[in-house]
């Protein structure tokens, strides 16, 4: 087997040094009854070419987004990944390193984390960011539990603009921790009243911008109202490219900003692995979950980085830790950071403008179709469409024409009949003018 270096001669020699007759003898602590039962009915080892053949056949059964124009979003966006970004994360020194527990020989990972933390803090407008969480949804759930620690209150309110997966993961965590979390119904017209619900029993209010249905909402007044009640404002961002164009949540008063970094890190990969972004204010640092890299010096006085403030973490604090997270999303955070570095300020803002302009062009083409209405007044690169016909059937018919033309809202809200005809549509820099025309023509045909 090509991954195993020991030869039979090695094994014999090593058993001799150990003083054992066979490898099986080394397993003598395993219960004999269980060993006798262990029949494992699986295929035998395979060559590289055979594995490649089997997996390629499976991959070929999918319609990939590059085969036809794709307009799918809902927290997972198709952007162009620069070739050098994917190259860098495949360097073995990054790919095959462990968590940087020995800082003297892990400065590459540590400096990259420090730069990642700095970039996330800058684009969210916050003071500090951690080294990443699993994904946006788990980061959102962690933000709510952090808010309950900061405020010593156990109630939270989730906006109907929040991604339904973020809502569900937060509700799952809340259920097991006996937190009182209320999730408002989906809010496709951005009319919910959050201000009227803020009171001094709430640990936090969680909103999302751009909202799940696309709206951009100014939450500055909500932030002030929350703060007056001693409550935190948590802002979720599922499309970080939007931060190249719209006011960062930190500047309107957010206390915790969480988000999903996938869209800048690489391809959708069927939704995982992503990278959870987590940023907050410096005064809440000690309640923050997750790893942190910090600056220091070595014995020769040279600048270097270490993992720090680990007394918050499970390997030190055990059941009193701020979270149980250990493995995070290091390599995807690196991919995010490399892409941000490649973009720089100019590239990041250009990319955001191109996304918005493409989405505006698409909205204009689609709202020209009879019976189709763009629901949000304002949006970044994604918006909800009201079709007047069941959206799931429309999406299937578009897919049959090779166009991945949006996600039906009913997939997330099966018990809300008023959302049956709502389709969520995103456009990015990967969509050409011809793609937009093809989508509009196909939608017109399917609806007629």
Partner 1 sequence: MTKPTTASGNRGLQLEQGLIFEQDTPGATAVDLPALPHTRDRLGGMKNTKRIGLPGMSEPEVVRHYTRLSQKNYSIDSGFYPLGSCTMKHNPRLNEKMARLPGFADVHPFQPVSTIQGALELIDTTAHWLKALTGMPAVAMSPAAGAHGELCGLMCIKAAHIAKNQGNRTIVLVPESAHGTNPATAALCGYSVESIPANSEGRVDLAALKAALERSGSNVAAVMITNPNTCGLFERECIQVADMVHAAGAYFYMDGANFNAIVGRLRIGDLGVDAMHINLHKTFSTPHGGGGPGAGPTVLSAALAAFAPVPFVVHDAQGYSVEEQAGFGAAKDSFGRMKGYHGQFGVFVRALSYMLAMGSDGLKQASGDAVLNANYLMARLSTELTPAFPGPCMHECVFDDRFLKGTGVTTLDIAKALIDEGVHPPTMYFPLVVHGALLMEPTETESKATLDQFVDSLLHLARKAKAGGAEAEFKSAPQLSPRRRLDETKAARKPVLRWTPPAAGAASQAAE
Distance of CA 128 to the CA centre of its chain: 18
Rounded distance, CA 293 to CA 312, Å? 13
Cα 205 to its chain centre, rounded Å, is: 20
Looking at the Cβ atoms of 200 and 271, the one nearer to partner 1 is 271
Give the residues across from 304 on adjacent strands: 296
Compute the distance between CA of residue 81 and CA of residue 75 in angstroms, rounded to an integer: 17
- The nearer residue to partner 1, 149 or 200, going by C-beta atoms, is 149
Smallest separation, CB 144 to partner 1 (Å): 12
In the complex with partner 1, which residue's Cβ is closer, 102 or 199? 102
Nearer to partner 1, 78 or 386 (CB): 78
- 200 vs 295, beta carbon nearer partner 1: 295
Taking the complex as a whole, the smallest distance from the CB of residue 70 to partner 1 amounts, in Å, to 7
Least distance from partner 1 to the Cβ atom of residue 199, Å? 25
Nearest to 84 by CA among 428, 354, 337: 337
Cα–Cα distance between 111 and 318 in angstroms, integer?
Answer: 27
Nearer to partner 1, 20 or 228 (CB): 20
> DSSP letter at 91?
S
Instruction: Report the Cα 140 to chain-centroid distance in Å.
Output: 10
Q: Least distance from C-beta 390 to partner 1, angstroms?
A: 13
Specify the 3-state DSSP secondary structure of 260.
strand
Helix, strand or coil, per DSSP, at residue 111: helix
- Shortest distance, CB of residue 69 to partner 1, whole angstroms? 12
Asked if residue 210 has a cis previous peptide bond (ω within 30° of 0), the answer is yes
Token code pair at residue 151: 């405020």
What is the residue whose two structure tokens read 């590239």?
A: 347
Query: For every residue of 160-222, which 3-state class applies, written as one string?
Result: CCCCHHHHHHHHHHHHHHCCEEEECCCCCCCCCCCHHHCCCCEEEEEEECCCCCCCCCCCHHH
Structure-token pair, residue 343 = 């973009």
Quote the least distance from Cβ 75 to partner 1, whole Å: 7
Q: What is the dihedral of CA 235, 190, 227, 152, to 10 degrees?
A: -60
- 192 contacts 147 by C-beta, under 8 angstroms: no
Of 361 and 420, which has the nearer Cβ to partner 1?
361
Q: Measured from the CB of residue 335, what is the shortest distance to partner 1 in angstroms?
A: 9
Backbone angles phi, psi at 368, to 5 degrees: -80, -10
State the nearest-atom distance from the C-beta of 278 to partner 1, in Å: 12
Nearer to partner 1, 200 or 357 (CB): 357
Pairwise CA distance, residues 70 & 438, whole Å: 11
What gap in Å lies between CA 362 and CA 381, rounded to an integer?
Answer: 10
Nearer to partner 1, 120 or 231 (CB): 120
The DSSP-derived string for 144-155 is: HHHHHHHH---E
Nearest distance from C-beta of residue 225 to partner 1, angstroms: 19
| Least distance CB 436 / partner 1 (angstroms) | 10
Pairwise CA distance, residues 119 & 44, whole Å? 47
Tokens of 116: 């990642």
Cβ of residue 365: shortest distance to partner 1, in angstroms? 11
- Return the number of the residue (106 or 225) whose C-beta is nearest partner 1: 106
Token duo for residue 43: 């295929």
Based on CB atoms, which residue is closest to partner 1, 199 or 345?
A: 345
Give the Cα separation of 123 and 248 in Å (integer).
6
Q: How far is CA 95 from the centre of its chain?
A: 19
């Amino acid at each position: 087997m090509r991954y195993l270096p020991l030869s039979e001669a090695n094994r014999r020699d090593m058993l001799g040094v150990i003083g054992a007759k066979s490898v099986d003898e080394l397993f003598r602590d395993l219960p004999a009854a269980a060993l006798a039962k262990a029949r494992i009915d699986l295929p035998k080892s395979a060559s590289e070419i055979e594995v490649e053949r089997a997996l390629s056949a499976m991959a070929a059964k999918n319609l990939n987004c590059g085969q036809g124009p794709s307009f799918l979003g809902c927290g997972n966006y198709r952007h162009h990944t620069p070739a050098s970004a994917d190259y860098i994360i495949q360097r073995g020194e990054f790919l095959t390193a462990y968590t940087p527990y020995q800082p003297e020989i892990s400065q590459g990972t540590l400096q990259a984390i420090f730069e990642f933390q700095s970039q996330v803090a800058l684009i969210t407008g916050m003071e500090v960011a951690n080294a990443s969480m699993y994904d946006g949804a788990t980061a959102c759930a962690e933000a709510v539990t952090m808010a309950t620690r900061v405020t010593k209150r156990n109630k939270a309110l989730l906006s109907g603009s929040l991604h339904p997966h973020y809502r569900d993961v937060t509700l799952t965590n809340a259920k097991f921790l006996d937190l009182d979390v209320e999730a408002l119904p989906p809010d496709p017209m951005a009319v919910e009243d959050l201000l009227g619900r803020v009171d001094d029993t709430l640990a936090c209010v969680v909103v999302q911008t751009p909202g799940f249905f696309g709206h951009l909402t100014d939450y500055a007044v909500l932030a002030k109202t929350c703060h007056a009640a001693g409550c935190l404002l948590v802002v979720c961002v599922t499309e970080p490219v939007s931060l190249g164009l719209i006011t960062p949540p930190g500047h309107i008063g957010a206390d915790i900003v969480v988000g999903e970094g996938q869209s800048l890190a690489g391809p959708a990969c069927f939704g995982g692995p992503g990278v959870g972004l987590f940023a907050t204010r410096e005064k809440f640092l000690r309640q923050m979950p997750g790893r942190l890299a910090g600056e220091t010096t070595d014995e020769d006085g040279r600048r270097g980085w270490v993992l720090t403030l680990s007394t918050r973490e499970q390997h030190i604090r055990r059941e009193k830790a701020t979270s149980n997270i250990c493995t995070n999303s290091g390599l995807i955070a690196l991919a995010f950071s490399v892409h941000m570095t490649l973009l720089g300020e100019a590239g990041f803002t250009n990319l955001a403008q191109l996304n918005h302009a493409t989405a505006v062009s698409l909205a204009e083409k689609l709202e020209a179709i009879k019976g189709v209405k763009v629901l949000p007044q304002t949006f970044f690169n994604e918006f909800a469409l009201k079709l007047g016909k069941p959206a799931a059937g429309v999406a299937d018919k578009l897919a049959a024409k090779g166009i991945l033309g949006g996600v039906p809202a009913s997939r997330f809200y099966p018990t809300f009949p008023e959302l049956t005809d709502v389709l969520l549509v995103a456009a990015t820099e990967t969509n050409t003018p011809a793609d937009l025309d093809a989508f509009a023509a196909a939608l017109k045909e399917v609806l007629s």
